[in-house]
Each structure stands twice: as C-alpha cells, then as structure tokens.
C-alpha cells in the first residue's frame, strides 16, 4: 500500500492526511455501533484527526448536544486508541452553563463538558465555532489561553470567521501576548467559494494558518447524486440543490465528469482532491455513514490531479 501522505496543520505540530473525519453524523444519522466501525476503519486506513463539536446534534428532536462527543469518547475508551488520534471540537453555538457563544465563563464550562464527554484530559484542536460580536476578542482569547496554559487544549482554531475579525484576533494575539488561532474551518467547496477565496485565503496563507474546510462535498451535490432537476426528489436535501444546478453546479459536475473519465476517480474523490490542492488548505473534512463510503473518501488521499485538471475544475465554477 502506498504510504499515507501527512500534512502539518499551519504552524503547529498536528499532522493529518489530506482528509479529516467529520463526526457530525455520530449519534444523528448513524448509531453507536456504526460510528465505532467507521472510527476503527478510519484509524486502520491511516487517518489521524476526528472533527466534532459540542453542538452536534442538538438540532435533532430529543437531543441536547454532545451526542457526537459522547460516542467518540465511548469509542476512545473501548478502543484504547486515544494516542493514535487527534480530537478537534468546538465551542460557541451551544448555550449552556456559563452563558452562550464565546463568553469566557461559557468557554470554561463548555471545555470541561467536552473533556468529560470525550473522556480525555486534553483537546488537540479547540475551535471557536463562530465569532461573538458581543464579547471583546481579548476576553475570549484570554479564556482560550487559560485552557492552553492548563494543558487542557493544545491548539486553537476559528470557524466561520470573517477575514476582518480573524485579522483583528491575530493582531491582538501579537500586541497583547494572547493565544493565536492556528487553524481555520470555513465553508468551502467547488460550488461554494466566496466565503474563503480572496481576502480570507490570503490572510491564512500569509499567517500560516492551516485550513480545514467543511461541506467539502456540498451536502452530497458534488458526489453526482443530483445531476439534473429530475434527480432533486431523490432525498429531502434535493430541494436545496436546485439553486446549485441553476448556478454553476451543472458546469462543475460536467468538469468533474471529464476529470473522472481521465483519472478513474469518483466525483467525491475529485471534489476532495481539488480542495486539498487549494492554497492554504491542509485537509478538508468529510463524514461517512458506512465503511464503504469511508474507503471511497480516503481514496482521495492518493489522487494527484494535474495542473490542467485543477484549472478545468476551478474555471468551471467561476
């Protein structure tokens, strides 16, 4: 088997192949046993980083949030594989003890709750899940710093931040001696590019911030499941795909089909390989609901798209 390529996340010592396993489905669309099988397979295949959040899956009736972290924690205890994986989780979308968003008291309480659910003494990568305009940045950066100083968090990241706010956080870290964000998690894929490309991407490259995009497959659109309007009724997500087909989606799918014919790769693998090749990106995040699906996704690790193929895909979405 070909050696798994490892990438370093920004200026940290965290390393991952060019795919991070998304944990949003654990306890939501797949149960505990299926989640365990996927987690075991991911490690066996060479995966290192698992991404979750305290809010997963509070949107489900009867759930309170923390369901994904709880399953991951149970798997860590059962498998004994804590030292083989990096755990990334988030705070800022689930209100609870200490308040809401990025209030310092909320960060402190939420971190303890996540550590308890995960059954670990440290979080490898802790994200601010969203910015908080109501809390001064120096206050929430200091709160994150206390977690780092206590050894409860190794590396800090930001998710869903605008370029201006990420820059001000970086400037404060420098001027006030506060901890620095070393990772960014934005929405980014072949049909959703405006939130990352441009000012935010340039900022990440300039400051060596490792980027781990979510929605890499555009909720399934980039797997080729919805190639025409007649296919939109295939799932409950179909209605949301209509605007993608009406925009650049059809052209992007056509370009992906052409690259698939040249490489033999699946559309999902091509979408992830394109993301992994973009400037600033360390590894995209993708979730799987079966071991077979996981094996397809990690196949993107071994795909080297040519410059012409990358340009064809990029130009199709412009």
The catalytically annotated residue of 56, 127, 140, 226 is 56
The 3-state secondary structure of 271-312, one letter per residue: HHHHHHCCCCECCCEECCCCHHHHHHHHHHHHCCCCHHHHHH
52, 68 Cβ separation under 8 angstroms: yes
Beta strand 7-8 with 15-16 is antiparallel
Structure tokens at 55: 């809010």
- Give the Cα separation of 167 and 161 in Å (integer): 10
> b/e per residue, 249-261, with b = 16+ CB within 10 A?
bbebbebbeebee
Phi, psi of 306 (to 5 degrees): -75, 165
56 catalytic, yes or no? yes
- Give the Cα separation of 219 and 25 in Å (integer): 12
Q: Which residues pair with 90 in a beta bridge?
A: 127
The single residue listed with the structure tokens 């949030």 is 65
Residues 296, 297, 303, 309, CA torsion sign: positive
Catalytically active residues, by annotation: 56
């Amino acid at each position: 088997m070909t050696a798994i390529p490892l990438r370093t996340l920004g200026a940290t010592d965290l390393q991952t192949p060019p795919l991070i396993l998304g944990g949003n489905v654990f306890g939501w669309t797949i149960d505990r046993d299926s989640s365990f099988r996927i987690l075991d397979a991911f490690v066996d295949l060479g995966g290192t980083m698992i991404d979750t959040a305290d809010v997963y899956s509070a949107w489900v009736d009867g759930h309170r949030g923390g369901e994904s972290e709880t399953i991951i924690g149970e798997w860590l205890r059962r498998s004994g594989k804590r030292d083989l994986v990096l755990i990334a989780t988030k705070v800022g979308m689930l209100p609870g003890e200490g308040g809401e968003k990025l209030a310092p008291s909320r960060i402190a309480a939420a971190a303890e709750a996540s550590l308890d659910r995960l059954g670990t003494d440290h979080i490898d990568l802790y994200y601010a899940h969203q910015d908080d305009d109501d809390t001064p940045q120096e206050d929430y950066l200091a709160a994150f710093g206390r977690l780092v100083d206590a050894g409860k968090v190794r590396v800090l990241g930001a998710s869903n931040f605008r370029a201006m706010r990420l820059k001000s956080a970086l400037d404060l870290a420098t001027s006030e001696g506060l901890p620095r964000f070393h990772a960014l998690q934005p929405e980014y894929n072949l049909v959703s590019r405006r939130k990352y490309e441009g000012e935010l991407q340039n900022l990440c490259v300039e400051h060596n911030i490792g980027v781990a995009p979510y929605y890499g497959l555009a909720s399934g659109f980039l797997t080729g499941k919805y190639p025409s309007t007649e296919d939109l009724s295939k799932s409950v997500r179909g209605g949301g795909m209509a605007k993608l087909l009406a925009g650049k989606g059809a052209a992007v799918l056509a370009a992906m089909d052409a690259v698939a014919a040249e490489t033999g790769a699946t559309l999902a693998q091509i979408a992830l390989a394109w993301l992994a090749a973009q400037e600033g990106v360390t590894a995209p995040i993708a979730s799987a609901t079966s071991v077979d699906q996981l094996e397809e996704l990690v196949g993107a690790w071994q795909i080297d798209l040519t410059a012409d193929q990358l340009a064809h895909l990029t130009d199709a979405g412009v």
